[in-house]
Amino acid sequence: MNSKTQTGIAGTVRGRLIRGLGATALGPVVTAIIQLGTVPLLLHAWGAAKYGDWLLLSAVPSYLGLSDMGFGTASGSDMTMRVAAGDREGAVRTFQSSWALLTSVSIAMLLMASATVWWIPWQRWLKLSSVSSLQAATIMIILGTYVVVGQQNNVAESGYRCDGNFATGIFWLMILRLVETVLATVVALLGGSLLSVALAYLAIRSLGSLAYSLLLRHKSPWLRFGMRHARLQTVKQMAAPALGFMAIPMGDALTLQGFTVLIGALLGPVAVVAFSTLRTLSRVSLQLMIAVAHTLWPELSAAFGAGKISLARRLHRHAIQAALGLSVLGGLLLWLAGPFVYHIWIRNAVTFDAACFHVLVLAAIANALWYTSSVVPMSTNVHHRIAFAYLAGTSISLGLAYVLIHALGIVGAALALLLINASMLWLVLQTALRQVQDTLREFIVAMFTLAPFERAWRQASEA
């Protein structure tokens, strides 16, 4: 391959990365608006106790998101590698097989939930203060339907990603998140109940998901929803990586919603608000690194699909450099300015717990680093070991949090989160380095060496 061709390829990759990063950069902005903007507004509209009820009720239906069994995410990596290798027919098989399985399973899970949710004493179990068990069940079913509808976007996004339209797909998903949150918050401010807000989320998500699928049809006419090309053999081939992807959101659910439910059951709704707001503020810089990692994902899949290991190695190094610099800088700023920002944001609705916040900041830094590195194995669907290790670790951390909360309150929960994220950092980094054929010594030098000096060091080593 001549230098002109190499330059063209690099330019294409660079252009997609820039566009993708520009689109995913909306992610932290939208998340900040959602998390930092809605919290004080909903606290004002509902009060701490009722807002705590909303956090608890919205946490439980999120587990329905696991009903896609990871096939939505696994299909994105598989399809991107296939398109990079010139196999569009295989990409269509993967697309339709994943869609057929996800749709049937998610609907079945929602029907099962609808048949059982009415018989559970939610008010007593979750210590709800503003809704009855029947009202809680109704809200959960609506939010569960919202989750299931949103799962359709997981498969549609894989279509955008595989055909070089990652930036477009991510941009409109972010816009949908923003619109539904703003309009639902307006409903709350106008005096709407928890049920009214849940219905607003469902209506807007349904319309937005339909428009998202129609746009994919326009951008990539060769990709169609349906079951004509769905194959059981394709489902079986993707089962292992899909289960790995299912383990990751299960672990996330344990660290996010699981901790929320645990703290609510042990300490009550006000403690839930305190811990959730502290964790939200501590993870502000993490949202940026998640955006960087997701931008890198399709390019890594394409690089591995085309057999370009050296390109994958460079992408991984640059991503970790960005994660290290941004997460440490962001963590330091939050450490110093966190109390002031929290006071302005929450306005004394709950008390700022400095010890809990500092531990959560350290956990967020470790989380940013290991998540960025985890995109390497996830981009090629060989992430099984780290995924199930994460699920096991989060299960242990939830049990540890149960013990520590009794002794330390919400600080104990923060310590449990720090432990799992620190452990995952070492495991994931080792896995990624092996896959991109990098050594720990060269990787560390690359992390802390500017590019010109890095080239000089390599030339000296070879001499």
**pLDDT given at position 252:** 81
Cα 268 to its chain centre, rounded Å, is 27
Please report, for residues 108, 132, 144, 401, the alpha-carbon distance to residue 114 in angstroms, rounded to integers and kept in the order given: 10, 17, 9, 31
**pLDDT given at position 6:** 37
The DSSP annotation for 120-173 comes to: S-HHHHHT-SSS-HHHHHHHHHHHHHHHHHHHHHHHHHHHHHHTT-HHHHHHHH
**pLDDT given at position 424:** 92
**pLDDT given at position 253:** 76
Q: Position of tokens 């319309």?
A: 207
Q: Position of tokens 């997981």?
A: 154
3-class DSSP state of 25: coil
Long-range Cβ pairs for the range 118-127 (8 Å, 24+): 122/57, 125/265, 126/53, 126/56, 126/57, 126/261, 126/264, 126/265, 127/264, 127/265, 127/268, 127/269
**pLDDT given at position 65:** 66
- pLDDT per residue rounded down to tens, the chain (463 residues): 343 433 333 346 667 777 776 777 677 778 778 877 888 899 999 998 899 899 889 888 876 765 566 677 778 888 988 888 888 899 999 999 988 888 888 888 889 989 999 999 999 888 888 899 999 999 999 999 999 999 889 889 989 988 888 889 989 998 999 999 999 999 999 999 999 999 999 999 999 999 999 999 999 999 988 888 888 888 887 777 777 777 777 788 778 778 888 888 888 888 888 888 888 888 877 777 777 787 888 888 888 888 888 888 988 888 888 888 888 888 899 898 888 888 888 777 778 888 999 999 999 999 989 998 998 998 888 887 888 888 898 889 888 989 998 888 888 899 999 999 999 998 999 999 999 999 888 888 887 765 544 443 354 344 4
The separation between the first and the last C-alpha atoms of the chain, rounded to the nearest angstrom, is 26
**pLDDT given at position 450:** 55
Distance of alpha carbon 374 from alpha carbon 370, whole angstroms: 6
